[in-house]
Amino acid sequence: MQNLATKFNNLTIQSDFIFKKVMSRKRICMHLLEELLQIKIADISYFEAEKSLEPDYASRGIRLDIIVADDKNTHYNLEMQVNNIKNPDTKNYVLPKRTRYYQALMDIDLLQKGQDYDLLPPTYIIFICVFDFFAKGNYVYTFKKHCLEDLNLELSDEATTMILNTKGTHGNISKDIKSFYDYVNNHIINSDFTRQIDDEISYLKLDSKVRREFMLLEARLLDERREGKAEGKAEEKLATAKRLLNMGLSVQDVAKGTSLSVEQVENLKAEQK
């Protein structure tokens, strides 16, 4: 428990847990969006933080960090991305198609059964990355759909994806967004905006309810990881048993070699017939 307490005290804005809590403060989230998009927002409404979207039992569900809608019904999904994850099997980076999947599930969630497609509101998928995914040095990479035959022709589906690069070196961003990047990268407080964020984090760390919530979340994640490892080991045992059966070993020998029960091995053998 002491290790968890130390971990909690050392949390920064890069932590999903702290990021969600900070962005749940309306004044901070609104200001970040206004400065990033250079627009004025009268108000925002929150959908549940870390919202789970699961379209059906066979599809992969996702947990979105922050979803808000402004007074003009534009919806924003904000995500903190610390690791540039690569699929170990394909060796491909997952970020591009992850944004695609997030956009698809957001749209499904926003359009009710029987509603016309043109009722889909404008959306922004915004990933705040502490790495430069495209290695171009831009502060921001903004994507919309354009025609390859005529790049001036835009598909007006009102869906925008923004990849923020806190390690960027050039581009047109406001002073407050640059100070936000400095804070995310190195905990540098050089603006009123980052002072507000840092004060909010300090308040959160003094809140016993927030501390307890973090402890429970970490315990739940640890259980999920343990269950995943246990399932993986069980599947590995079954795969080994099948290979041994194919090699002609007896049910009893396979059971001894894999620590499976004789009944389990017999069932596997029956399935292979």
Whole-Å CA distances, 208 to 1, 7, 143, 198, 271: 14, 15, 41, 18, 54
Alpha-carbon distance 204 to 207, whole Å?
A: 5
Confidence of residue 252 (pLDDT cuts 50, 70, 90): confident
Give residues with Cβ within 8 angstroms of 135, minimum separation 6: none
Q: Letter for the amino acid at 137?
A: G
State what percent of residues in the chain have pLDDT above 70: 88
pLDDT digits (tens, 9 = 90+) for 164-200: 999 999 999 999 999 999 999 999 999 999 999 999 9
Residue 1's pLDDT is 47
Confirm if 41 and 30 have CB atoms less than 8 A apart. Answer: yes
What gap in Å lies between CA 60 and CA 197, rounded to an integer?
33
Nearest to 125 by CA among 158, 153, 83: 158
Rounded to an integer, the average pLDDT of 267-272 is 81
Q: Which residues pair with 227 in a beta bridge?
A: none
The H or E element that residue 53 is part of is strand 51-53
Beta bridge partners of 68: 46, 76
